[in-house]
Amino acid sequence: MEREEAIALYRKLVLIRQAEEKIREEYLKDEMKTPVHLGIGAEGISVGVCHCLPANSRTFGTYRNHALYLTVTGDPDGFFAELYGRLSGPGKGKAGSMHLSAPEFGLMATSAVVGTTIPVAVGAAFAEAYRKTSGIVVVFFGDGAIEEGVFWESLNFACLKQLRILFVCEDNSLAIHAHAAERRGFRSIPEAVAAFDCYQAGGDGSDVLGVIRRTRQALQMMSEKPKPAFLHFTYLRFLEHVGPREDFDVGYRCRPSREESEGLDPVLRFEKELLRSGCTLQDLEVVRVEVRERVRRAVEAAQKAPFAPPAELYRDVLA
Amino acid sequence: MKSSITFREAVNLALIKEMERDPSVFVFGLDVDDHKRIFGSTHGLVEKFGAERCFGTPLSEDAMTGVALGAAISGLRPIHVHIRADFILLAMNQIGNMMSNLRYMSGGKLRIPLVIRAVIGRGWGQSAQHSKSLHSVFAHFPGLKVVLPTTPQDGYGLLRSSIQDDNPIIFLEHRWLYDIAGEVDDERVVPLGQAAVLRAGDAVSLVCSSWMNLEALKAAEVLARKGVEVEVVDVRTVSPLDEQTIIGSVKKTRNCVVADYDWVFCGFGAELAALIGQRCFGHLDRPIERLGFLPVPCPTTRPLENLFYPSAATLIRAVEKLLGLEEADLSRESFYSYEQRFKGPF
């Protein structure tokens, strides 16, 4: 990877991480009145997959969507405005954290109900096939969505129609607090999906370069013969399901060792890669300082921005 | 061009006209391309427009509704068809959580031009899972439009308006309507949100939905022979609701029976009664009467099924009671009976 590309990738990871760390700092002041599902530990998947996508691609996500929103838009101003409920947010404050979208950047929808955007993404991929256009559609969802009937209905239809869609499973093995073993009557997700006529790959989602490699392979195969691809990436959810805190001490899971944590932190891992490939600590610090300032300004602007006026309540219910 | 055609042919004609007009319109759902073609309403579509634009699906109502939504926000105009409205309950997550609020949450950036067509109503011993109307359920969600055509002209004109509309629309067709013929002007597209006065009168307003309009017209004919002229108001669209026409009629007649083709409790009939009670309070001579399904699951056996559904006869009795009239002898009247049109088994 060229140095410029690598630094751009690092900048995205840092933007997401610092934006979420800023939320952690600010959230307990109770000015950001929206439930936040932070994705610290998961950044590598959205950043890596979206890094490979052609310009006309469209994406769909879940309520844990901050990384996806920031990676496709690069825009912390709209992001924080929406989290602070301001008119200048992409949803005019009506969406909040769980429903961030940016159709002008291809991020069509995210949802707070598990599995819900999966068939909608399939419909978007169907529209590409209907029009004989080449856009790729990607839908991100957690491992809990595999237990929803609609995942299987959607996968079936996408395979039946041989649509160009990436199903990206972000597997943290937790559904809120319930472990995979308490929820799965099947041996493994890849094995369960294997019966369907689609490409399949997966690996460690905290390794952003690995995510990029596997996504590129899948896209290459899709371009040779159109077919859905199922990508399964694991990661560690560093924080509680919803909210700004850690929850390793509440009893349902163990705190990872420092070594494990570092190995599962996509930002730290990529920093090590960059240092190995010739970047200096100084180079990385420059990016971090720039991004920190950018995030600080975005938060400050959002806090000062106006709320929607009452007339906005009734706007956009219908076209 | 004007012609006398059935409701089934009118719906079919609307689909053909819209598919000819706009290549982004497509029709999909279970059975749309089989030999029965949803009571004939999708007749000829696959032959004329190809399997890309008219196709059957896996039995996945939930995902297929999401597919319709995804296609709609991509600029297509999907028409998703259900041979029974009851099956839509499998897809309520997409309807209640997604298509009704995606535009709002996107800050107005997304348009959702899609139509869900579904067959409702009484058939031949359809029982509890093939008989619901559900328009109250859908209309409860802001962000959806709900359409209940009755005449062939409305089957044609309201469907064309619905397909051209940029919002998600639930379009509910009563099964018995398919055989009913009437004049259709194929240049007349009927706008959404306008009620229609099907028969003028001065004694009582019968505010009706879907099949209840036909029962009300029959009741009006019988009552007229007894010297009572009732006005029949077809709401046509539940959401958006044409309040003006309904209120205007009740203010004129000063009496109202709401006859909804659904359960009474927490139903659309309750919404109508509340609206009329509030806006016509000083103009009402008597309390508003409400008719609808009885508060039980729909039974299969004919004697109980006959009690379950409201009819012209129950409407006549309701009007008589409201106006303090003697009960007329109905034994020589001929009411609509599906037995005369259809013999089982399927």
> What are the boundaries of each domain within chain A?
3-303
Q: Name the residue among B132, B42, B56 with its Cα closest to residue B87.
A: B132
Q: Which of B185, B204, B226 is the last residue of a domain?
A: B185
CATH number at residue B150: 3.40.50.970
From the candidates B9, B61, B215, B289, which is the catalytic residue? B61
Alpha-carbon gap, residue A69 to A102, rounded angstroms: 7
Return all residues near B241 (Cβ < 8 A) that are at least 6 apart.
B193, B195, B235, B271, B275
Q: ω before B345 within 30° of 0 (cis)?
A: yes
Alpha-carbon gap, residue B39 to B125, rounded angstroms: 17
- For residues B185-209, average pLDDT: 97
Alpha-carbon gap, residue B318 to A138, rounded angstroms: 58
Q: Is residue B228 included in any domain, yes or no?
A: yes
Alpha-carbon gap, residue B141 to B120, rounded angstroms: 19
Asked if B257 contacts B208 with a C-beta cutoff of 8 angstroms, the reply is: no
Helix (H) or strand (E) segment spanning residue B169: strand B168-174
Percentage of chain A beyond pLDDT 70 is 100
**Least confident span in A45-54, A144-153, B300-309:** B300-309
Please list every residue in chain B whose beta carbon sits closer than 8 Å to the beta carbon of residue A120: 66-67, 69-70, 73, 94, 98
Q: Is residue B39 included in any domain, yes or no?
A: yes
Asked if B291 contacts B264 with a C-beta cutoff of 8 angstroms, the reply is: yes
Predicted confidence at residue B337, as pLDDT, reads: 77
Interface test mutation site (partner B, options A56, A73, A150, max chain B beta carbons within 10 A): A150
Q: Name the residue among A71, A73, A103, A69 with its Cα closest to residue A83.
A: A69
Asked if A59 contacts A139 with a C-beta cutoff of 8 angstroms, the reply is: yes
Interface test mutation site (partner B, options A82, A120, A159, max chain B beta carbons within 10 A): A120
User: In the 3-class helix/strand/coil scheme, how is A4-61 assigned residue by residue?
Assistant: HHHHHHHHHHHHHHHHHHHHHHHHCCCCCCCCCCCCCCCHHHHHHHHHCCCCCCEEEE
Alpha-carbon gap, residue B127 to A149, rounded angstroms: 27
CATH superfamily of A3-303: Thiamin diphosphate (ThDP)-binding fold, Pyr/PP domains (3.40.50.970)
Q: What is the pLDDT of residues B286-316, one digit of tens each?
A: 999 999 999 999 999 999 999 999 999 999 9
Q: Is residue B296 included in any domain, yes or no?
A: yes
pLDDT of A163 > 60? The answer is yes
**Given CA atoms B206, B207, B209, B213 in this order, what sign does their dihedral have?**
positive
pLDDT band at B341 (very low <50, low <70, confident <90, very high): low
Q: Is residue B146 included in any domain, yes or no?
A: yes
Position A47, amino acid: V
Q: What is the pLDDT of residues A247-267, one digit of tens each?
A: 999 999 999 999 999 999 999
Any catalytic annotation for residue B43? no
- For residues B80-103, average pLDDT: 97
Q: Is residue B331 included in any domain, yes or no?
A: no
Is A103 within 8 Å of B104 when comparing Cβ atoms?
no
| Chain B closest-CA separation from residue A166 CA (Å) | 15
Collapsed DSSP state (helix, strand, coil) of residue A129 = helix
* Helix runs in chain A, H state only: 3-27, 43-51, 66-73, 76-83, 117-131, 149-160, 189-193, 208-224, 258-263, 266-276, 281-304
Alpha-carbon gap, residue B336 to B315, rounded angstroms: 13
Is A130 within 8 Å of B71 when comparing Cβ atoms?
yes
Collapsed DSSP state (helix, strand, coil) of residue B155 = helix
Strands A107-111 and B181-185: unpaired
Q: Find, in chain A, the residue whose alpha carbon is nearest to that of B55.
A: A161
Which among A94, A150, A319 has CB closest to B63?
A150
Alpha-carbon gap, residue B33 to B327, rounded angstroms: 49
Alpha-carbon gap, residue B68 to A123, rounded angstroms: 6
Q: Is residue B252 included in any domain, yes or no?
A: yes
Q: Find, in chain B, the residue whose alpha carbon is nearest to that of A129.
A: B52
pLDDT band at B343 (very low <50, low <70, confident <90, very high): very low
Q: How many domains does chain B have?
A: 2
Binding-face residues of A in 259-298 toward B, CB within 8 A: none
- A54 shares contact with chain B (CB less than 8 Å): no
Which among A89, A116, A156 has CB closest to B60?
A156
pLDDT of A95 > 70? The answer is yes
- For residues B55-74, average pLDDT: 98
- For residues A233-256, average pLDDT: 96
Predicted confidence at residue B344, as pLDDT, reads: 35
Alpha-carbon gap, residue A305 to B9, rounded angstroms: 56
**Least confident span in B136-140, B149-153, B282-286, B338-342:** B338-342
Binding-face residues of A in 202-261 toward B, CB within 8 A: none
Residue whose token pair is 């499973």: A169
Please list every residue in chain A whose beta carbon sits closer than 8 Å to the beta carbon of residue B165: 319
Is A116 within 8 Å of B93 when comparing Cβ atoms?
yes
Binding-face residues of B in 128-147 toward A, CB within 8 A: 142-143, 145
Asked if B97 contacts A116 with a C-beta cutoff of 8 angstroms, the reply is: yes
Asked if B75 contacts A127 with a C-beta cutoff of 8 angstroms, the reply is: yes
Q: Is residue B328 included in any domain, yes or no?
A: no
Q: Same structural domain for residues B230 and B96? A: no
Q: Same structural domain for residues B123 and B252? A: no
Terminal-residue alpha carbon distance, chain A: 45
pLDDT of B335 > 90? The answer is no
Alpha-carbon gap, residue B33 to B40, rounded angstroms: 10
pLDDT of B183 > 60? The answer is yes
Which strands make up the sheet holding B114-120, listed edge to edge?
B54-55, B25-28, B77-82, B114-120, B168-174, B145-147, B237-239
Q: Same structural domain for residues B120 and B214? A: no
Q: Same structural domain for residues B121 and B39? A: yes
Alpha-carbon gap, residue B149 to A16, rounded angstroms: 51
Q: Same structural domain for residues B127 and B80? A: yes
Q: Same structural domain for residues B119 and B200? A: no
pLDDT band at B339 (very low <50, low <70, confident <90, very high): low
pLDDT band at B345 (very low <50, low <70, confident <90, very high): very low
Return all residues near B340 (Cβ < 8 A) that are at least 6 apart.
none
Range of the domain at B230: 196-323
Please count the residue pairs, one from chain A and one from chain B, whose beta carbons lie less than 8 angstroms apart.
144
Strands B2-6 and A199-204: unpaired
Please list every residue in chain B whose beta carbon sits closer than 8 Å to the beta carbon of residue A58: 74
- For residues A47-59, average pLDDT: 97
Alpha-carbon gap, residue B299 to A102, rounded angstroms: 49
CA distances in angstroms from B100 to A102, A103, B251, listed in the order given: 18, 17, 34
Q: Find, in chain A, the residue whose alpha carbon is nearest to that of B109.
A: A103
Binding-face residues of B in 42-81 toward A, CB within 8 A: 52, 57-58, 60, 62-76, 78
pLDDT band at B242 (very low <50, low <70, confident <90, very high): very high
- A149 shares contact with chain B (CB less than 8 Å): yes
Which among B62, B143, B166 has CB closest to A317?
B143
- For residues A95-99, average pLDDT: 96
Please list every residue in chain A whose beta carbon sits closer than 8 Å to the beta carbon of residue B110: 101, 103, 108-109
Is B108 within 8 Å of A113 when comparing Cβ atoms?
no
Please list every residue in chain A whose beta carbon sits closer than 8 Å to the beta carbon of residue B78: 123
Q: What is the pLDDT of residues B253-287, one digit of tens each?
A: 999 999 999 999 999 999 999 999 999 999 999 99
Return the number of other C-beta atoms located less than 10 Å from residue B95's C-beta.
24
Q: Same structural domain for residues B200 and B181? A: no
- For residues B132-144, average pLDDT: 97
Alpha-carbon gap, residue B316 to B323, rounded angstroms: 11
Alpha-carbon gap, residue B211 to B149, rounded angstroms: 9
Q: What is the mean pLDDT of chain B?
A: 95
From the candidates B80, B130, B135, B174, which is the catalytic residue? B130
Alpha-carbon gap, residue A26 to A32, rounded angstroms: 8
Asked if B26 contacts B79 with a C-beta cutoff of 8 angstroms, the reply is: yes
Q: Same structural domain for residues B52 and B114? A: yes
- For residues A154-169, average pLDDT: 98
Alpha-carbon gap, residue B328 to B186, rounded angstroms: 41
The reply to whether ipTM tops 0.85 is yes
Q: Same structural domain for residues B142 and B290? A: no
Percentage of chain B beyond pLDDT 70 is 97
Return all residues near A130 (Cβ < 8 A) that are at least 6 apart.
B26, B52, B71, B76
Please list every residue in chain A whose beta carbon sits closer than 8 Å to the beta carbon of residue B73: 103, 108-109, 120, 123-124
Q: Is residue B132 included in any domain, yes or no?
A: yes
Any catalytic annotation for residue B61? yes
Both structure tokens of B320 = 């008589």
